[in-house]
Amino acid sequence: MDVTDWKTERRKTRQIEVGGVPVGGGAPITVQSMTITKTADVEGTLQQIYALAAAGCDIVRCTCNEVEAAEGLAQIVPRSPVPIIADIHHQYKMALAAIEAGVHGLRLNPGNIRKPDHIKAVATEARDRNIPIRIGVNAGSLDPALYDKYGGATPEAMVESAQREIAYFEEVDFDLIKISVKASSVPLMVEAYRQLAEVTDHPLHLGVTEAGPPPAGLVKATAGISTLLMEGIGDTIRYSLTADPVEEARAGRQLLEALGLRERKNVDLIACPSCGRAEVDVIDVANRAMEAFGDREIPLQVAVMGCVVNGPGEAREADIGIAAGNKRGHLFVKGRNVAVVPEHEMVDALVEWAEFIHEHGTDAAIAKADTVKAEREANRDRTQLLADQGLDANHSDDKIVEIRKTVAS
């Protein structure tokens, strides 16, 4: 095998899409992480999601453990820059509520949602709405029957757990599946994934669970994930660290870059998905910005945000960004407002400031700005927009009513 064969000779898998991000089937390997905020804390969770996206995370998972979390998801999903997956344990109704909230994917643990009727009810709903599900087997929470059958959490027991869940899904004709067989033991997870890769062509999500704090956690996760990646196994990855999740996203990204599986030389443009608050056509501005930056080697994170109400806060980790408000563009550097320009000059100003930052750094950009004036102008437009649009521009309250009905039924 040539030393770089793992980059091209990857295991052939089916492809699924998580909120428009392809996973498997030759798509670039994606980085995932998970928020550690209470999902009911919408603003705090969104801030963490933006920080994760800026750190290179492609897909973010949030826990959906209670009805307040599902209601939070109804507000988070329309404002998230990346697809959101709801993490479900024990209560299948939380999966139904998360679907109602509009999530892009679910993670189910077969070890703790075990009733076939419940599993099939969730898969049927996911099938009807085209939402993929990750079968997230975990060595620490295997079905006790499998534990007894195999005398412990063996690779064979973990693979059988995944296969049983696949069989339930197949009964209702659902196949938008990805699978993980995580363990905190690196040899155990490596062997479980190897065996799983032999018996299924569904895409695989790699991870060493409960790897612990860095640096030991980083070493364990890297050992397990990179061993498999270099065998051509794995379509999406997550570092599970006892640390700020931004460290997980960075580590995942850096590992893929180190293995030559992902590359970043140019602008990393993140943009909000737009929502009821948007003051401009975000897709158009983002496309024009992408075009303006072209192939220039400016390895900065640049954010295009639809509104000044939430944009600068949500994208505070980006090196530079612009948010629309009241026919004006508000430029911000590392979350600090630095200038305001007419709307039609937004893209030019963005490029100009990005070039300055690339040459002189963010501190110099903030130092040259009249931040007091820029912040005052941003506050003025923010207040105006809130007065015009009200507090619930995304009609999330309607979804919350549906969630409550679903959970109460």
Q: Which residues of this chain interact with ligand SF4, rule CB under 6 A?
A: 79, 272-275, 277-278, 305-307, 309-311, 314
Closest CB to ligand SF4 among residues 215, 390: 390
CB of residue 282 to ligand SF4, shortest distance in Å: 6
Q: How many CB atoms lie within 10 A of CB 352?
A: 15
State the minimum distance, in angstroms, from the CB of residue 402 to ligand SF4: 21
Nearer Cβ to ligand SF4, position 212 or 273? 273
Of 284 and 359, nearer to ligand SF4 (C-beta) is: 284
Please work out, in degrees rounded to the nearest 5, the angle formed at the alpha carbon of residue 274 by the alpha carbons of 272 and 277: 120
Provide the 10 A C-beta neighbour count for residue 3: 7
Question: In this complex, which beta carbon is closest to ligand SF4, that of residue 133 or of residue 275?
Answer: 275
Nearer residue to ligand SF4 within complex by CB, 22 or 276: 276
Q: Which of 290, 292, 315, 225 is nearest to 261 (CA)?
A: 225
Cβ of residue 270: shortest distance to ligand SF4, in angstroms? 11
Closest residue to ligand SF4 in the complex (CB): 306
First to last CA, the chain: 57
CB of 79 to ligand SF4, least distance (A): 4
Instruction: Give the count of alpha carbons within 13 A of 91, CB side only.
Output: 16
Amino acid type, 263: E
Quote the CA–CA distance of 281 and 243 in Å, as a whole number.
37
Q: Which stretches of 203-331 are DSSP H helices? A: 216-229, 245-258, 282-293, 311-314
In the bound state with ligand SF4, the residue whose beta carbon lies nearer, of 221 and 309, is 309
User: Which residue, 222 or 274, is less far from ligand SF4 as judged by CB?
Assistant: 274
Using CB atoms within 10 Å of the CB of residue 343, give its burial: 0 to 12 exposed, 13 to 18 middle, 19+ buried: middle
User: Residue 275 CB, nearest distance to ligand SF4 (Å)?
Assistant: 3
Tell me how far apart the alpha carbons of residues 231 and 226 are, in angstroms, rounded to a whole number: 8
Cβ nearer to ligand SF4, comparing 35 with 406: 35
Half-sphere exposure of 335 (CA within 13 A, CB side): 10
DSSP H helical ranges for 41-154 = 42-54, 67-76, 92-101, 116-129, 144-150
Query: How far lies 200's CA from each of 108, 233, 363, in Å?
Result: 18, 12, 51
Q: Closer to ligand SF4 by CB, 107 or 334: give it.
A: 334
Sequential DSSP letters for 12-72: P---EEETTEEESTTPPPEEEEE--S-TT-HHHHHHHHHHHHHTT-SEEEEE--SHHHHHH
Closest separation between CB of residue 324 and ligand SF4, Å?
8
Q: How many residues does the chain have?
A: 409
Beta carbon of residue 240, minimum distance to ligand SF4 (angstroms, whole number): 28
Q: Provide the 3-class DSSP secondary structure of residue 200.
A: coil
Closest distance of CB 273 from ligand SF4, Å: 6
Q: How far is the CB of 81 from ligand SF4 (least distance, A)?
A: 8
